[in-house]
A and B are shown apart, each in its own frame.
Chain A
Amino acid sequence: MRGYAGKFLEIDLSSRAIKEKKVPDSVLRDYIGGRGLATRILWDILGSTWESVDPLSSENMLLVLTGPLTGYFPGTKICVSGKSPQSNGVIGSTVAGEFGIDLKCAGYDGLIIRGKAEQPCYLFICDNHVEIKEASPIWGKKARETVRFLVKESLKEIKDIRPGYGEVIEPSFLYIGPSGENKARIAAVTSKYAHAAGYGGYGAVMGAKNLKALVAKGFGPLPDVYDKERTLDLVQEFLVKNFERERFRRWGTGAGGYYFGAETSSEPIRNWQEEWHQEQSYKGEEFDKYWVKKNWGDFGCPTTCLKVSVLKDGTYEGAICDNPDYELESYLGTNLGIFTPEKNIYLSYVSNELGSCGIQSGAVLGFAAELYQKGILTREDLDGIALEWGDVEAFAALAERIATRQGIGDILSEGIYRAAVKISEMKGLDVLKYAIHEKGVAIGAHGIRSGRDYVTTNPIAYACSVQAGDHTSGADLPIGHRHSELFSIMGDSAVYCFFAAMALDNRDIFNFYEAVTGWELTEEEWYQEKALRILQLQRAMLLLGGPDITWKPNLDDELPPRFWEPLPSGPDKGRSLDRTAFEKSKLEYFNAAGWNENGVPKPETLRNLGLEDVEVKLREASLIS
């Protein structure tokens, strides 16, 4: 086995038992790591009782997994998973940062965390020294203070473990803010200051386990690769190819706040009431003025898509955040009627401090503001906050209430869909039509209606994705190609940064996988068998869902109502989606995936992939008759 450390850590927070666990080669060859392996582990352990597992109970699991490419590929991530409190299915949520590298250098491919700690705790790993430590001093604390505490405490601890070592580089961290502690379904798992695994809501899963943070420090080298020379040659090649994408290095995704509005009419504006704008104040150059660091990358990454923004004067002096990237520029900017970098940076800072996912919280804030605009939610309903578009202080105040579940925040912290259901009941009218989500997950900031956004060239992108609103895992046809979900499964399972792979061919990735692991894997084998198997499992668990919500196959594979309205402004004004074409694509996709006309995996598909137990389960649940 090459490219893997060869063992996982299984931690039961209830009994405080810590065990090493091996996963057979055959399973790793089929499920690789990250998202694929998480899906398999979740199915094996929770599959038989899936519908009754509450994602926010001690029964749920938190998986933090690397993949064989983590650490070697120049662009590094870690994959966080479990039963999602947003979709009730499985989402493989990746976040950049060095945690995966530290973990592998410490000797582990991943963490399988179960149970619930009695007291707030954090997990500390330094090579084979693994400890569950007390987190009471930082419970309730925001990002900066949490990181400061963790740096101090863990450096002290490492000095004890390695006396006389000299100066030690700080370990890597994954942690939650107040939002996760309060089990807000919009909570992210954060790395560094503002890198977030937001899709899925796994910050709330950590909170439900009383788990504030994970700390890893590995002194060892990365595990050996199968063919070192070839791996190094490929890295060299990638460095050159990536350099040719100078635009991405220069701007990251930070030029998107203007581009996706003005050029492709696909940016969320005031809760998606519009998707076009031409605000010059929101151009990349305007953000650039606040960047104190223009090229910042995660370890070994030549793409350096990251920037650091700081507000050095004015009302919000002291605010700092990475980028903001495009998703935050839109969801915590245009979607709330904010069109100045300064306010957007401030709100991103607030959201990071609270540990809320920028997409999920920006979506629910925009939703609330539209209800306020329409007079459905009053100032009284909003605890005295006048939620006017563009009022950054009002949004910051509400974001704080959401993360701490105060007043109206308690409802909104449930995420956009569940909040819409509650408010509909409360007000006795249907506000679900203003909730822009896909199966409980607020969708990425890439609209569908103009048909011009590169993420959503096919209108079924969100409707048919097993990760619902996740814009990094959209469905597309043909099912086995670069922009299809099956390729995203490769990225999330081998666990590398897909931003850093944008300049590469598909083949490059499979070559790299072979050079690192020494295991042959053809694209055909991946698309027709292995990725397809992972897709079936994710689809099955998404449809089984529960306990609070179960999505109806086909009926819920639908777009938010607003996306069926014509675009109201800009060069694409009047453009709308074609229902017949959408239904046709959807059916074609179901077919290609081996699903029946309702989108349920067919018995023969499951049998061909050796998933007979999934068939049995789907029959029990009356999904297959």
Chain B
Amino acid sequence: MLVPGIEIPHLCFQCEDYPCVEACPEGALSVIHQTGAVKVDVETCTACGLCITACPGKVPHLHPDGSSIVICDLCDGEPQCVKACLEGRWNALTLLPREKSISYKMLAATPKELTRKVANHILGEKTTKEVLG
């Protein structure tokens, strides 16, 4: 919790040009055609971390056991997070079709960037400055 009340899910936005896939020297990453999600071949992945560096939002992270990378695969088109969010009646997540006209890459941001943006918006600049320094 960097800012009270502003905990934002930090997930893959499926960039149009997939810098992570491009960056992977092992060919461990591929794009799932149906959903546009990035698929990790855990057998091939060497956990070198180059995809993290390549990602504009620093979205990929290592599995806690350190063996391979983790990227959201949209649960084969049925994201369980959306389901859980609806079941809990928080209604914060919705499944939307992908629009050609949107540049998704622009949306990818690090947790810090996302937090600061939202914080500025809802807390105002003065409070955000005090909270985040």
Residues of A within 8 A of B (CB): 74, 98, 144, 148, 151, 162, 164-170, 172, 192-194, 219-220, 236, 239, 243, 292-293, 295-296, 302, 304, 306, 308, 310, 312, 317-320, 322
Contact = CB atoms under 8 A, between A and B. Distances in A.
A105 to B, nearest CB: 9
A308 B131 contact: no
Q: Which of A148, A236, A292, A295 has the most CB of B within 10 A?
A: A292
Interface string B5-24: 11000100000000000000
A155 to B, nearest CB: 10
26 contacts: A148-B132, A166-B49, A166-B60, A167-B10, A167-B59, A167-B111, A169-B111, A172-B1, A192-B1, A192-B4, A239-B89, A243-B89, A292-B5, A292-B122, A293-B122, A296-B4, A302-B88, A304-B90, A308-B4, A308-B5, A312-B126, A312-B127, A318-B124, A318-B126, A320-B4, A322-B4
Given A148-B132, A320-B131, A167 B110 contact: yes
B127 A318 contact: yes
Interface string B92-108: 00000000000000000
A236 B131 contact: no
A295 B123 contact: no
A154 B9 CA distance: 21
A319 B4 CA distance: 13
A322 B131 CA distance: 13
Contact of B123 (A74, A172, A306, A320): A320
Given A219-B64, A239-B88, A312-B124, A170 B2 contact: yes
A164 B110 contact: no
A168 B52 CA distance: 12
B47 A166 contact: no
A236 B87 contact: yes
A80 to B, nearest CB: 19
Interface string B105-124: 00000110000000000111
Nearest to B129: A318
Interface of B: 1-2, 4-6, 10, 47, 49, 52, 58-62, 64, 66, 87-90, 110-111, 122-124, 126-127, 130-133
Contacts of B87: 236, 239
A277 B5 CA distance: 31
A243 B86 CA distance: 11
A320 B127 CA distance: 7
Nearest to A243: B89
Contacts of A317: 124, 126
B5 to A, nearest CB: 4
Contact of A166 (B2, B52, B89, B126): B52
Nearest to B48: A164
B111 A318 contact: no
A306 B87 CA distance: 20
A407 B126 CA distance: 32
Nearest to A312: B124
Contacts of B127: 310, 312, 318-320
Nearest to A172: B1
The DSSP consensus for interface residues of chain A is loop
B87 to A, nearest CB: 6
Contacts of A296: 4-5
A88 B99 CA distance: 64
A146 to B, nearest CB: 12
Contact of A292 (B52, B123, B126): B123
Nearest to B70: A166
A308 B131 CA distance: 13
B4 A166 contact: no
Given A167-B58, A169-B111, A292-B122, A193 B2 contact: no
Given A219-B64, A243-B89, A295-B90, A164 B47 contact: yes
Nearest to A249: B89
Nearest to B92: A295
A144 B64 contact: no
Given A310-B123, A318-B127, A320-B131, A167 B61 contact: yes
A168 B120 CA distance: 22
A318 B123 CA distance: 8
Contacts of A193: 4
Nearest to A295: B90
A220 B126 contact: no
Given A162-B62, A306-B5, 13 more contacts: A148-B131, A162-B66, A170-B1, A239-B87, A292-B5, A292-B122, A296-B5, A304-B90, A310-B122, A310-B124, A312-B126, A318-B127, A322-B4
Contacts of B4: 192-194, 293, 296, 308, 320, 322
Contacts of B64: 219-220
Contacts of B47: 164
Contacts of B61: 165-168
A168 B58 CA distance: 10
B62 A165 contact: yes
A70 B62 CA distance: 26
A166 B132 contact: no
Nearest to A164: B49
Given A164-B62, A167-B110, A148 B133 contact: yes
A243 B10 CA distance: 26
4 smallest beta-carbon distances between A and B, as pairs:
A166-B61, A293-B5, A308-B5, A219-B64
B6 to A, nearest CB: 7
A294 to B, nearest CB: 9
Nearest to A292: B122
Contacts of A144: 130-131
A343 B128 CA distance: 20
Contacts of B58: 166-167
B13 to A, nearest CB: 14
Contacts of A162: 62, 66
A148 B4 CA distance: 12
Q: Which of B49, B52, B61 has the most CB of A within 10 A?
A: B61
Contacts of A166: 49, 52, 58-62
A322 B4 CA distance: 8
B2 A302 contact: no
Contacts of B6: 293
B130 to A, nearest CB: 6
B11 to A, nearest CB: 11
Contacts of B130: 144, 318, 320
Nearest to B65: A219
Nearest to B131: A144
Q: Which of A164, A295, A296 has the most CB of B within 10 A?
A: A164
Contacts of B131: 144, 148, 320
A296 B1 CA distance: 12
Nearest to A313: B124
